[in-house]
Amino acid sequence: MKRVFAAVLALTLMNYAAMLVWTLPRLAGAAAGLLPFDLRPFGYGFHETRAYLAVLNSDGREFYLTTQHWLDTTYPALLAVSLILALHLLLASRQAWLAYAASVVAVAGAVFDYMENAAVAGLLRAGAESVTQGMVTWSSAATMAKSAATGAVMAVVVIAGARLLWLRWKGA
């Protein structure tokens, strides 16, 4: 299971790195420095959304709908699998219930990410003049739910990993 985890984690990190160093900075540049919706963990309001859509150039809009969303089609699933494998490697022997509970939250985070992608695509297609408050509310809620679920699971993984390291260090 450790080799499978290492392989999935490597794919997840490569996917994330491509977004972090290529697509997301390009999208910010295409929108006069404003952050893409995916990078707003606390959500966004109607006026913020309209401002982003108004300054996002047509090449940026197309890049968001194609390249960014293509990468973000594989990333949520890869991240969820990476987190689930990490949880089970770190917790299965002592706290299997926590590994299973957090795994459910990891899957929910991926589902929220896919919901966010669909909602953001709707915003991008609508444009600044046609976007509605309801569209923004739905998209922002999906972004915040994704961020909360993923952040919570990552916190469990980090704490479980730190605890394991502490126990090993203390026992050595």
Q: Tell me 67's DSSP state.
A: I
Task: Fill in the amino acid letter for 35.
Answer: L
Residue with tokens 């997301």: 24
Distance between CA atoms of 51 and 30, rounded to whole angstroms?
13
Q: Quick one: pLDDT at residue 172?
A: 59
Q: Where are the domains of the chain?
A: 2-171
Concatenated DSSP letters for 95-141?
Answer: -HHHHHHHHHHHHHHHHHHHHHHHHHHHHHHHHHHH--HHHHHHHHH
pLDDT on residue 92: 80
Structural contact between residues 116 and 37, judged by C-beta atoms closer than 8 angstroms: yes
pLDDT score, position 93: 79
pLDDT of residue 64: 98
Structure tokens at 78: 């890869």
pLDDT at 36: 97
Query: Residues 61-112: pLDDT tens digits?
Result: 999 999 999 999 999 999 999 999 999 999 987 899 999 999 999 999 999 9
Alpha-carbon gap, residue 133 to 127, rounded angstroms:
13
